[in-house]
Amino acid sequence: MAAPAYIERHYAALSREGGFASRCAMALDGVDWAGKHVLDVGCRRGKGAYKLSERVGADGLVVGVDWSPMFVEAAREGVAAALARSGLTASNLEFRQGYPEDLAAAGIADDSQDVVYLNNGFAHFADPAQALRECFRALAPGGLLVLEVVTTTADELVAVTRQLTAAGFPDPAVMASEPLLVAEESGAGLASSAPSQLGAATSAAVSASAVLHARKPQCA
């Protein structure tokens, strides 16, 4: 079944590179990855999935899903080199084309994933609320969603936690928030330092990368 037309139009219009969607500074600490089945949603060319592959090891599996067939093919082409770097003798990587809002169409079954990872592309999704519902569906009971988001105000971060709750995650937690860029008031460029707290009083535009963890209840 084809995705709804509005979803196809949305992803077709997205730029292929640039901005925060292309960042791969993944927050992997604080999670037991070994042997896990991990879904990387919006995997792009696979750089993040390759990192996850090293973390889950030979007994784990990483499935990357991206809406771009070109990027999925590029990710597949990089598997051999990624395995050579990690020292793994057999592949624990798969890449599939699909939309975050319809992971079932990419063959992602209910309750099949130990961890779902969303790496900073969340704001670019056509329907973030539906994408979170799909992540919830794909997670096994007790499974973990790791979500990196770029926000410009504290209110935006609160809105993301509310979206997580609405998708079925009862207690989303902000694990970290790291300032990224501060635009100078003059508009002349980007300052080299940033406020230590998201939403600090300033007339400049502040961006921060926040890491959230949310678990699917055991009884879901």
pLDDT at 24: 54
Of 210, 118, 132, whose CA–CA distance to 169 is shortest? 132
Say if residues 143 and 180 touch (Cβ distance below 8 Å): no
- The one-character DSSP state at 194 is -
Beta strands in the chain (DSSP E): 37-41, 61-66, 93-97, 113-119, 139-151, 173-183, 190-191, 206-215
* Overall average pLDDT of the 114-141 stretch: 95
| Percentage of residues in the chain having pLDDT higher than 70 | 82
pTM of this prediction? 0.85
Say if residues 216 and 141 touch (Cβ distance below 8 Å): yes
Region of poorest pLDDT, from 26-30, 41-45, 142-146, 157-161: 26-30
Mean pLDDT computed over every residue of the chain: 85
pLDDT tens sequence across 197-209 = 333 333 344 577 8
Please state, in angstroms and as integers, the Cα–Cα distance from residue 15 to each residue in 11, 20, 103, 216, following that order: 9, 12, 21, 32
Say if residues 126 and 14 touch (Cβ distance below 8 Å): no
Tokens encoding 59? 């007994």
| Percentage of residues in the chain having pLDDT higher than 90 | 68
pLDDT tens sequence across 99-114 = 999 999 999 999 999 9
Cα–Cα distance measured from residue 180 to residue 35, given in angstroms and rounded to the nearest whole number: 32
- CA neighbours within 13 Å on the CB side: how many for 184? 8
pLDDT tens sequence across 62-100 = 999 999 999 999 999 999 999 999 999 999 999 999 999
Residue 195 has pLDDT above 50, yes or no: no
Phi, psi of 113 (to 5 degrees): -120, 140
Question: Residue 146: is it exposed, middle or buried by C-beta count within 10 angstroms (0-12/13-18/19+)?
Answer: buried
